[in-house]
Chains A and B, each alone.
Chain A
Amino acid sequence: MNQIIINLETPEIKVLEKVGEKDAIAKASKESVFRQISEGKAQFTASSSKAFALIIDGKSLQYALDDDMKKLFLELALGCASVICCRSSPKQKALVTRLVKAGTRKTTLAIGDGANDVGMLQEADIGIGISGVEGMQAVMSSDIAIAQFRFLDRLLLVHGHWCYRRISSMICYFFYKNMTFGFTVFLYEAHTSFSAKPAYNDWFLSLYNVVFTSLPVIALGIFDQDVSARFCLKFPLLYQEGVQNVLFSWRRIIGWMFNGLCSAIIIFFLCTNALDPQAFNKDGKIAEFQILGATMYTCLLWVVNCQMALAVGYLNVVQHICIWGGIGFWYLFLLAYGAMPPKISTTAYKVFVEGLALAPSFWVVTFFVVISALIPYFLYNAIQRRFFPTYHGMLQWIGHEGLSDDPKYCKMLNQRSIRSITVGFTALSLGKNQRWES
């Protein structure tokens, strides 16, 4: 790697320092630093495919961070593969971090273990403190604390990716389930001449987000893993999904909301057309407001929860309990609420026991509506995986087929970057021929 060294150990500066005039030293030092930065920049722009390393010490940094020179310094630093600022004071560390943060408008991460890193850790967007030899000062002022430096790659590649995926999935799913719920109510409104009569009993409405659909989302946010930890480390390019904001793009958000819209339309129209206006059970009873509302709500809960089961690629015990338990809890709630005296349960009084449970059409309609509402998403998923697979989809496929140890496939999946990047140059060149073990 070519090195660009900026320091003030030149003979002219040393002579001036012996003389001792502060102004002259400062002026000469500043000019020297300016000259060295410009030279470095010329070197760098002449051959941009080579990797450069910039080394600057604390004394020069003091002048490089002046307002009139810092833009130039930043340009040079950003073009290099590595930048080493040695002998810098805590304040300079913080100032460099601030310069990069403001100049590039990217998310910066700082990692340090000593009390002199505190300024830098606080300044960066994400500060990581290492607990250990130099005390707990860095840990106390950091956002995340780890025990050893080498855990950083696990923190970023595994937990960073999982966190990004979980948050984006959770938010998209939240929009989806509320869109589905709200749109069924809206479609019903169109049939009540927009008089604001909700399709469901009051307590059904209130408890939708609080009780019936809350736990699966929380479980999704805590436990979801699209790719196992081992694969996250093995294919670091997966981390770029977060940097490029692939999983939370507008297309995805609107896609999920559209999915909610489709589900709501399917639920509403299938329920109303199948149950109205003729009798719905053998005794000739009609499916009026209570029956239709309870049926639609049952279908809604089933669809929303099964959609979660379809969309996540990872179901552990807790998620199974939350999803299927949530649906089972709904039936229990119907029984319990229906058993309360009519003063409290109003329109839901004995609706399940008397009306729904004994009517085969209720079960037939629910089964049909749930499967039909999930088919569009299932189809979309199948087509996407076959024709337009995402990167993490390919990794899941590799893991499923057991090809993760095959070097040919791994190499192919790792070579997905067409940008010529110089970042991580040393690691890349060292790791080129090495097997990617943890």
Chain B
Amino acid sequence: MSKSYFMGHYRMGNCTEKRLQTIIWFSTFSTLGVHDVHAGFVSVTGGSGSFVDSSFFLARRSIHPSVAHSRFTQQELPACKPILTPRWVISAFMLVSLVFIPIGVASLFASRDVVEIIDGYETHCIPQEFRNDKVKYIQTPGVKPCIRTMTVPKHMKKPIYVYYQLDNFYQNHRRYVKSRSDVQLRENKSENDVSSCEPEDIANGMPIVPCGLIAWSLFNDTYNFSRNNQPLTVNKKDISWKSDRDHKFGKNVFPKNFQSGKLVGGANLSSSIPLSEQEDLIVWMRTAALPTFRKLYGKIEVDLQKGEVINVTLENNYNTYSFNGKKKLVLSTTSWLGGKNDFLGIAYLTVGGLCLFLAMAFTVVYLIKPRRLGDPSYLSWNRNPGGH
């Protein structure tokens, strides 16, 4: 019986609806027990000069506590009903462009401030006579030194980050990513937990620490920098994430039986340094997202002046030639936004400009062809009797 009361009452309330007041709905909803709310019917008070273009409202009647709780069941909860009026469309686009263009300019300036030197060396560091069989060269044992020079184009403020960049190296391949044992890296007592590390799990009958393909393929080119015959020290401390050093790599886990199989995949690790201090390994084991990636090698803690020539003595040990990979050495400063990437700034400016153009276009359209509500064209979907 109560149901018919509410339905009947609702219907009665409808026809006495005239002008409404626009009230902020959330203040009245919970406290006043508003009765007979007509959420959804919108009317604007005031003339055309009124700034009240809001599209939500409440109607206040007498306060009736027993009715208040049924607003939920009667689907009369107060609501806002945003409608895409021309004003909203133009304002939205203008707002987006007004926000995006300054951010784009700021991002572009930040990116322009960053100085970056990139040197791809995988082809140049193979002596001329071995250019036809690079894989054979890289697999010959012994030191394979290479001298490169880099010129500083602009003043670079410390700290200057040294990265190595690899191309076409799928560190995100599923089987590669799986091939590690996190528990073995953390705890000394879980040394034998190598089940997920195949095929780099056991060598000579003993478990490998750290096991898995990721550790096995550790990058092993080394770089030594000098400027005017003065060596530049590269700080290799704190190049990994603190959480990795503290919680993922154990302080009492030492490399054991590492790279002792027939196939050596990368660098060797000193057995006397615990894993939590093997920062190169920690950086390498945080697998990259895409096939072209950089990893932090170290930091140079001095300024570099414009025009200085940096001599790099590097050891070309890592075999990227089997899979047509590329190796690059990168020196870069950073800004508040990170490294050098014009993309973000340009993208912001593009979208901001596009929105500005759309705002103008819509203003022109709304001025030239103002909307007429009484459009007598018939609804196309109502032409077929009961058809689709």
Residues of A within 8 A of B (CB): 106, 147-148, 151, 154, 191-193, 195-197, 223, 225, 227-231, 233, 237, 240-241, 243-246, 249, 270, 272-274, 276-293, 313-319, 341-343, 346, 349-350, 354-355, 359-361, 364-365, 368, 371-372, 375, 378-379, 381-382, 385-386, 391, 394, 396-404, 408-409, 412, 416-419, 421, 437-438
B387 at the interface (CB under 8 A from A): yes
Residues on the B chain within 8 Å of A228, using CB: 38-41
The residue in chain A whose Cβ has the minimal distance to the Cβ of B41 is A228
8 A-B pairs with C-beta separation under 8 A: A244-B386, A278-B341, A290-B286, A364-B344, A378-B89, A400-B42, A418-B382, A418-B383
Contact at B7–A151, with CB atoms within 8 Å?
yes
Contact at B334–A148, with CB atoms within 8 Å?
no
B55 at the interface (CB under 8 A from A): yes
The residue in chain B whose Cβ has the minimal distance to the Cβ of A396 is B83
B78 at the interface (CB under 8 A from A): yes
**Bound: A397/B87 CA distance, A:** 13
**Bound: A282/B82 CA distance, A:** 41
Residues of B within 8 A of A (CB): 1, 3-4, 7, 10-11, 14-15, 17, 26, 29, 38-44, 55, 75, 77-86, 89, 92, 96, 100, 103, 107, 116, 159, 161, 163, 165, 170, 172-175, 177, 182-183, 186, 241-243, 247-248, 286-296, 299, 332, 334-341, 343-344, 347-348, 351, 354-355, 358, 362, 365-366, 371, 373-374, 376, 378-379, 381-388
The residue in chain A whose Cβ has the minimal distance to the Cβ of B19 is A402
Contact at B79–A316, with CB atoms within 8 Å?
yes
Given contacts A106-B386, A277-B293, A278-B294, whether A315 and B287 have CB atoms under 8 Å apart is no
**Bound: A225/B183 CA distance, A:** 53
The residue in chain B whose Cβ has the minimal distance to the Cβ of A243 is B386
Residues on the B chain within 8 Å of A154, using CB: 7, 11
**Bound: A197/B335 CA distance, A:** 32
Contact at A399–B41, with CB atoms within 8 Å?
yes
Given contacts A316-B79, A372-B351, whether A401 and B343 have CB atoms under 8 Å apart is no
CB < 8 Å: which of B17, B376, B387 contacts A244? B387
Q: How many A-B residue pairs have CB under 8 A?
A: 264
The residue in chain A whose Cβ has the minimal distance to the Cβ of B18 is A405
CB < 8 Å: which of A289, A382, A397 contacts B289? A289
- For the complex formed, measure the closest distance between the CB of A235 and the CB atoms of chain B, giving whole angstroms: 12
- For the complex formed, measure the closest distance between the CB of B140 and the CB atoms of chain A, giving whole angstroms: 29
Contact at A289–B172, with CB atoms within 8 Å?
yes
- For the complex formed, measure the closest distance between the CB of B282 and the CB atoms of chain A, giving whole angstroms: 12
Residues on the B chain within 8 Å of A313, using CB: 81-83
Instruction: Kindly list the 9 A-B residue pairs having the minimum CB-CB distance in the complex, ordered from nearest.
Output: A278-B339, A228-B40, A316-B79, A284-B161, A279-B339, A197-B174, A292-B289, A195-B174, A402-B43
Contact at B80–A341, with CB atoms within 8 Å?
no
**Bound: A65/B14 CA distance, A:** 45
- For the complex formed, measure the closest distance between the CB of B95 and the CB atoms of chain A, giving whole angstroms: 10
- For the complex formed, measure the closest distance between the CB of A227 and the CB atoms of chain B, giving whole angstroms: 8
Contact at B243–A350, with CB atoms within 8 Å?
yes
Given contacts A195-B174, A364-B103, A400-B85, whether A282 and B336 have CB atoms under 8 Å apart is yes
Given contacts A287-B289, A402-B42, whether A341 and B338 have CB atoms under 8 Å apart is no
Residues on the B chain within 8 Å of A284, using CB: 159, 161, 296, 299, 332, 334, 339
**Bound: A57/B288 CA distance, A:** 82
**Bound: A273/B111 CA distance, A:** 14
Contact at A359–B378, with CB atoms within 8 Å?
no
Contact at A379–B107, with CB atoms within 8 Å?
no
Contact at A274–B341, with CB atoms within 8 Å?
yes
The residue in chain A whose Cβ has the minimal distance to the Cβ of B78 is A316
**Bound: A277/B84 CA distance, A:** 40
**Bound: A381/B84 CA distance, A:** 8
Contact at B334–A279, with CB atoms within 8 Å?
yes
**Bound: A39/B10 CA distance, A:** 48
**Bound: A281/B174 CA distance, A:** 27
- For the complex formed, measure the closest distance between the CB of B106 and the CB atoms of chain A, giving whole angstroms: 9
Contact at A342–B247, with CB atoms within 8 Å?
yes
CB < 8 Å: which of B39, B41, B161, B373 contacts A231? B41
- For the complex formed, measure the closest distance between the CB of B100 and the CB atoms of chain A, giving whole angstroms: 7
**Bound: A292/B286 CA distance, A:** 12
Contact at B79–A368, with CB atoms within 8 Å?
no
Residues on the A chain within 8 Å of B116, using CB: 278
Residues on the B chain within 8 Å of A421, using CB: 385
